[in-house]
């Protein structure tokens, strides 16, 4: 895994490992306290140009569901839109070992 650094406006620096796409972003850092729903958060247009910090200690255990699944009204069941709007995702712990019945790919993919 590649190491990268988050640098805040006050020049505070935080190092960590990168999973998924490695990009540079100059955006607002916000936090989210939910235990589930990171796929919905990443695909929600209201998080455009924001770097999400998830406070739940382990992310990746249920990974990405089928984005083509729809409900009885034709609305996508598990995601908010067809693209990722958040410009970054910061987590405390990430696992590639997903175990959810509905997973079709890893979050990293």
Whether residue 6 is predicted with pLDDT greater than 70 in this model: the reply is: yes
User: What DSSP character marks residue 59?
Assistant: B
Say if residues 85 and 62 touch (Cβ distance below 8 Å).
no
Q: Average pLDDT of 102-107?
A: 73
Q: Where are the domains of the chain?
A: 26-105
pLDDT of residue 63: 65
Q: Average pLDDT of 6-28?
A: 91
pLDDT of residue 28: 95
Q: What confidence tens digit (pLDDT) does each residue in 21-31 have?
A: 888 889 999 99
Residues ≥6 apart with Cβ < 8 Å to 51: 6, 25, 27, 28, 29, 30, 86, 87, 88, 89, 90
Domain 26-105 has CATH 3.50.30.20: yes
Say if residues 50 and 87 touch (Cβ distance below 8 Å).
yes
Q: What confidence tens digit (pLDDT) does each residue in 30-75 have?
A: 999 887 788 889 889 999 999 999 988 777 666 666 777 788 888 7
């Amino acid at each position: 895994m590649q190491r990268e650094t988050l640098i805040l406006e006050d020049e505070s620096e935080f190092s960590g490992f990168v999973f998924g796409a490695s990009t540079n972003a100059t955006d607002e850092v916000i936090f989210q306290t939910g235990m589930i729903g990171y796929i919905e958060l990443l695909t929600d247009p209201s998080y455009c140009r924001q770097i999400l910090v998830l406070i739940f200690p382990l992310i990746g255990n249920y990974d990405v569901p089928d984005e083509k699944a729809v409900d009885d009204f034709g609305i996508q069941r598990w995601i908010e839109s067809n693209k990722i709007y958040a410009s970054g995702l910061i987590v405390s712990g990430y696992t590639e070992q997903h175990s959810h019945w509905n997973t079709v790919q890893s979050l990293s993919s």
